[in-house]
Amino acid sequence: MSNPPLILGSSSPFRKVLLERLLVSFTTESPEIDESPLAGESPIALVERLAVEKAQKVAENHSHGLIIGSDQVAMHGAEIVGKPHTHERAVEQLRTASGKSIKLYTGLALVNAETGNVQSAVIPFTVHFKPLSDEIIERYLQKERPYNCAGSVKSEGLGVALFERFDGDDPNALIGLPLIRLVSMLETEGFDLYA
C-alpha cells in the first residue's frame, strides 16, 4: 500500500529544506489565514491554533493526503519577538537579547484530509545568546540582513554565531519544523517513511 500524498502547508523555504531531510516526496501549498492572536490568547495557544488552521485550510483543497501545518513564536520574557523589518528594530532586538535567553514555541499540526483526524503539539526550544557588542550586532546585520526573521536571527545562517547554547529536544524546532515530533505524527497515521 502506498503512502498518501504529503503536503507542507507553508511558504517557508526553511521548512521545505527541513522536510527534505526526511527523503520523502511532498508538495507545498501556502495557506492564507489570519494570523492575528485572539484576545487573551497565550503564545502557546496561538502557535498551536495557527498550525492547525494552516493545515486545515490546505486540507480543504484535498480529498486525501496528510497536511503539515507549523507556526512559531519567539518570546523574550513575556514579550513576543516578531520580525524586525527594519535595521533599527533589528539592532534593538539584538541588544535586548544580548546575554539573555529567548524561548521559541513551535506549533506543529498534521491533518488527515480524508478522515479529518488532527494531531497537534507545541514544541519549546530555548536559545541562549552570547553577550553582543554593538559592533558585532552591526557587522552581523550588515552581513546577514535578517529583517524577515523573528528576533533578527537567521539561525540557519550566521545567526548561529550569536548563540552560546540551546536547550530543547529537537534542534529542527529552532528553524520552525520539529522533525522528531513530525515523524511520530506521520507514523501514527501509518505513513511509511522507508517506502
* Angle separating helix axes 134-144 and 87-97, nearest 10 degrees: 130
Task: Tell me whether residue 67 is exposed, middle or buried, using C-beta atoms within 10 angstroms of its C-beta: 0 to 12, 13 to 18, 19 or more.
Answer: buried
Q: What is the C-alpha to C-alpha distance for residues 120 and 68, in angstroms, rounded to an integer?
A: 10
Q: What is the C-alpha to C-alpha distance for residues 32 and 45, in angstroms, rounded to an integer?
A: 19
* Angle separating helix axes 13-20 and 179-188, nearest 10 degrees: 60
Residue 82 carries which DSSP code? -
Q: Which helix (H) or strand (E) holds 122?
A: strand 118-129
Q: Could you tell me the three cell numbers for 93?
A: 532586538
Q: What is the C-alpha to C-alpha distance for residues 116 and 10, in angstroms, rounded to an integer?
A: 19
Contact between 179 and 133 under an 8 Å Cβ cutoff? The reply is no
Of the residues 71, 134, 169, 192, which is catalytic? 71
Q: Is 169 a catalytic residue?
A: no
Would you please indicate which residues are annotated as catalytic (active-site) residues?
Answer: 71
